[in-house]
Each structure stands twice: as C-alpha cells, then as structure tokens.
Amino acid sequence: MKKLAAVILAAGQGTRMKSGLAKVLHPLLGKPLIKYSIETARSLKAEMTVVVIGVQAERVKKELEKDEVLFALQRERLGTGHAVMAAMPALKGFKGDVAVFYGDCPLLRPETIKDLISAHRRKRAAMSLLTAVLDDCGGYGRIVRDEKGEVRAIVEHKDCTADQRLIHEMNPGVYVFEDGFLRKSLRGLTNNNKQGEYYLTDLLAMAVESGQKVASSTVKDAEEIMGVNDRMDLAAAAGVMRLRVIADLAKKGVTFECPETTHVEPGVTIGPDTVIEPGARLSGRTVIGPNCVIQMNSRIEDCVIGRGVTVKSGSALEQSKVGDGVQIGPMAHLRPGSVIGPDARIGNFVETKKAVIGKGSKLSHLTYCGDAEVGSEVNVGCGFITCNYDGVNKHKTIIGDGVFIGSDTQAVAPVKIGDGAYIGSGSTVTRDVPADSLVMTRPPTTVKEGWAAKKRAARKKKKGNKKR
Ligand code: UD1
Ligand code: CA
C-alpha cells in the first residue's frame, strides 16, 4: 500500500472575516475550523500531516498542540504554490502520495478525498484534482477540459478569457500528487500571472505538458466544497454541519422537534427515543441517555445524563452528571461538579455547584446548594441556601440521608446535618446537628389576640377628634 501525507494550507489571514482572530481559529459548532481538516487527515490515515501556518502562527500551533501534526511556517503569503513549497522540507524523505487541501473547508468529507486518491492510484497519475459543478463559479478557478473530456488546465478567475468564465466546473482546491512530481514541478513554478502569485494550479498544466497522467473526480454534493471566507459563510457552514450532526442522531432514533433551531456539536451522543425540543444547545462531550426529554432553550455542556431524564425549559447544565429518572428545571442551573443521583429533583431557580445529591432527594424551589454532599431521600424546602463562602474560603455542607429541611433556611458551612434530622423553617444552622434531632433557630411565634382591631379603632377616634 502506498503511503499518504496530508498538507493543509492555513497560512492566510482571512481578511473578509474582519477579525482579530485568524480565520482558521474561528469556531464552527464548538471547534476551530482548522480542526475539521486535521480530523479529515486523520480519517485518511495520513502517515504525516503538515499544516502550513503564517498568520497568527503561534496561536494556531497552540490550538493544535495535542494533534500529531507538523508545522511549516510560510513567512510571506505568495500564493498556494508557495505555501506547498513551504511544506516540502517537512516532507523530506517521504515517498508516496501527497494530498493537499485547505484549513477553511470544513464540510469536505473524507470519503470525497478517498475517492480522489483511488482515482489517482488507479490511473497512476502524477497529479489529481477534485472538481465541482456549480451554477455560479464566482471567483473560483475554472477547469478546462479537452474534446476527450481530459482535464487540461486550471485557469484562475482573474486570468480567464470571457469564454472560460462561462465554464461551470470549478476547482475547490483539493489535490493529490505523486511526491516525485510534486517536488520536481514546484522547483519550476513561476509567478508569471495577473496576481504575481505562485499558483499551485499551474502544476496541472505542467503535468499535461510533460505528458504525465492527470486524474480527476467530481464531488457529488457541491455543498462539501463550500469554503469559509466571511462570517456569513461561517454561519452557512455551521448550518450545514449542524444538520449533518442532527441527521446522524435522528437516524439512531433521536427526535428533534426543530432541527433548524437546535445546536448539537459533533462530539455529542444521544440515546434513542430522546426528544430534543427547539432551541436546545448541546455541546462538548455531552452524553444523553435514551428516553430523555430536553426541553426548550436548555443548554447542556460536557454533561453525562442518564436514562429517562427530563430537563425542563431554560435550564443550564455544565460539566455535571445526572442519574436516571432525574427531573431538572425549569430554569435550574447545574454548575460544574454537580452530581445528581437517580430520581432526584432539582426544581425552579435552583443552583448547584460541586454538589453531590443522593438518590430521590428533592431540591424543588429557589435554592443554592454549593460545595455540598446531600444524602438520599432528603427533602429540601423552598429557599434553602448553603452559605459556603466566608469571603476568603469555601466550606462544605454535609447533609445525611432522609433529612428534612424546612423552607427559608440556611446552613452556614462548614456544617454537618446528621441522618434523619429535621430543620425547622426559617432556621439558620451554624453548628453540626446530630442525627434525628430537630433544629429551630427562629424566635417563637407570639400572638396577641385583638391587637390589630384595637389599633385600628384608636386611629379612627383620633381622626374624628381632628375634624371637629
Ligand atoms: C485557490 C485556487 C482556485 C480555487 C480556490 C478555491 C490557486 C492559485 N487558486 O484560489 O483555483 O478555485 O482556491 O477556494 O490555488 N493559502 C496559504 N498561503 C498562501 C495563499 C493561500 O496558506 O500564500 C491558503 C489560504 O489560507 C486558504 C487557501 O490556501 O486556506 C486558499 O487560498 P485563497 O487565497 O482563498 O485561494 P485562491 O488562491 O484565491
Ligand atoms: Ca478562499
């Protein structure tokens, strides 16, 4: 089997993005654009991947530090041919085929490049290129074929004759080269054209002139070759990618009520018979089990969610774990480190952070529970607060199994409440509570019968005296 190397061109500025951030670092569905090309190289099983960087080289390098890629610095941007020249030292000693594609073309499927590689190898070509047929080829390079249908040249839009501009077949910028041909012809490349650039596309004419074989394959789904040049392209590409991810999950049995308004990132997995309502945003490494309902406008980030969970509308879940059968929200906030046990309930306006909640426990309304361990079958009334912060340090609250916490209570941490204890409403607990005890810290209720009536009567009399 012949070896494959990948060269990804990513040195450009992306002027039309009008951004302080290099184009390839702009996120698309949670991942920088360039990552999609790196993943493509990985699925092609490329022996080595060389990323040609230039603009914000250090930032791009940093973003890719965990990927097994080599970097080639293109100091000046003198064209696509020049960019590949910059990659050649990194390919020193490599024998095999070299696939070249861009870092700003995230919708390109690995299978499409695989087809091109197959065509290239079948024909034993020196150079092969992908083409696409579009209604409007805009500013793209045009594919010129001879009467036999063989590709003869790629002509840049700016260098086209009026007739050539009418050609509907364009060059998306995806190539495969035989390494010997690539090395040799790059050495002969000049910048004698309208833009004074070293055109990678000129290599095609060089192959044809020297009588070497050229192969091509035409992409079936023209959507794939959509590059990102400006912010609207970015939005359009994200739209396509989002629907791809959703279609994939839908095939596995997930219902999406409104795919157009649902953001699901490529790393998310969802079990069958789960229903995702409009406006949900599911990101990172989120795993959602089967038979769940994720209601409108919920945001779930890097969470693991069990089976049969309902996340009611407007909830935000971050880096948390949620057990089977749990109900969350509406409008609950699980902050990082929340671990919610099976069948528990986290209700309206409840915020948890670094909190482990036991099986079947209920925090149903208006609560802050941070740096806490709550046992199983605990009932927390409305308006409970763990006072975990003394202005300098965070402290822990530990609540045992079967505890009942009345409404409007505070636990001033560090504090432990033993199993089965009762905390009366309106209490502020400032020291540890033994198991099975009752705590009440509010003053006793005083009732003075008839007091209000007397007061009203006295006021009325005073007014009457004034009038007279
Ligand atoms: C190139 C092709 C054109 C094709 C189009 C598809 C050439 C001469 N033309 O156009 O036929 O239709 O792509 O999009 O190749 N880059 C570098 N260094 C450079 C120049 C470019 O790394 O010096 C990178 C850019 O970051 C970008 C990619 O190469 O990712 C394409 O560059 P761009 O300037 O958009 O392509 P064109 O040369 O206009
Ligand atoms: Ca471009």
Nearest CA to 429 out of 405, 446, 393 is that of 405
Which pLDDT belongs to residue 465? 83
Q: Burial of 454 by CB count in 10 Å (0-12 exposed, 13-18 middle, 19+ buried)?
A: exposed
The answer to whether 424 and 439 are in contact (CB under 8 A) is yes
Cα of 259 to ligand 1 centre, how many Å?
A: 33
Cα of 135 to ligand 2 centre, how many Å?
A: 18
Q: 21: which residues sit within 8 A by CB, 6+ positions away?
A: 56, 59
Q: Burial of 184 by CB count in 10 Å (0-12 exposed, 13-18 middle, 19+ buried)?
A: middle
* Ligand nearest to C-alpha 80: 1
Residue type, 223: E
Cα of 134 to ligand 1 centre, how many Å?
A: 18
The closest-lying atom of ligand 1 relative to the alpha carbon of residue 13 is: 26
* Ligand nearest to C-alpha 157: 1
The answer to whether 57 and 176 are in contact (CB under 8 A) is no
Which pLDDT belongs to residue 360? 98
Ranges of residues in the chain with a pLDDT under 50 are none
Which pLDDT belongs to residue 183? 98
Which pLDDT belongs to residue 463? 87
Pocket test for ligand 1, best of 25, 40, 71, 80 (most atoms within 8 A of CB): 80
Number of Cβ atoms within 10 Å of the Cβ of 193:
16
Which pLDDT belongs to residue 464? 84
The closest-lying atom of ligand 1 relative to the alpha carbon of residue 76 is: 23
User: Is 26 a catalytic site residue?
Assistant: no
Instruction: Please give the model's pTM, rounded to 2 decimal places.
Output: 0.92
